[in-house]
Structure formats: structure tokens, C-alpha cells
Structure 1
């Protein structure tokens, strides 16, 4: 049976928090926008680290 590709949830959450930050910044909620941007940055960095680790482990396993 084929495994369906799963949506990268951390990247999705990073984008969601970034959009929340943009909307909050447009309406002038500086504190909320700064918090949302901080969360989005952290989630994006974690996503990148896990994506690179997954890529490297895939290369090692394939050899």
C-alpha cells in the first residue's frame, strides 16, 4: 500500500504565526505581532533542522 505524503506541520504552523503577525502589525498590535514573529522564527528554524536531519539520515540509510 502506498503511504500518502504528510503535510509538514511545523512549517504550516510557522506560516500561520507569520500571517498572524502580519495581520496584527497591520492593525497596530505591536506586542502580539512581535510574539507571533518570534514563534514563527523558532518553528521555522526547528523545521529546517529536522528537514536537514531527515535528508542526511535518508542519504545514510540509502547507502
Structure 2
């Protein structure tokens, strides 16, 4: 007998991009650089992010009863 299931997934997409940041930073290890870079990346057109990969993780499976 055929069975039907509903599958709940978490979908994670990875992208790779570069942004330029300027500021009064101590050196390349200044944690403020990462903070500013994340803001800049989020502000840019996300279509310019370079797609890398998509991962699918099954969170739950539910059997659908007829």
C-alpha cells in the first residue's frame, strides 16, 4: 500500500562574496571589521553573491493518514 509523508526540511544556501570596508581599525584582526563587513554584504544586491552550495537537512517526517 502506498504511503504519503510530509517532510520538514532546513535548507541552507551558501554564498561567497567580497566587500570593501573602511574605518579606524586597529589591524586586520579587529573584530569591528567582521561586523562592518556583514552589514555591507547584507546591504549589497544579494544577486551579486556568488552561489556555492545548497544543503538540505531533514528535521522531521510525518506520515499523512488517509
TM-score, normalising length: structure 1 = 0.30
| Higher normalized helix content (fraction of residues) | 1
| Higher normalized strand content (fraction of residues) | 2
Question: Larger RCO: Structure 1 or Structure 2 (Cα < 8 Å, ≥ 6 residues apart)?
Answer: 2
Compare CA radii of gyration and give the structure with the larger one.
2
TM-score, normalising length: structure 2 = 0.29
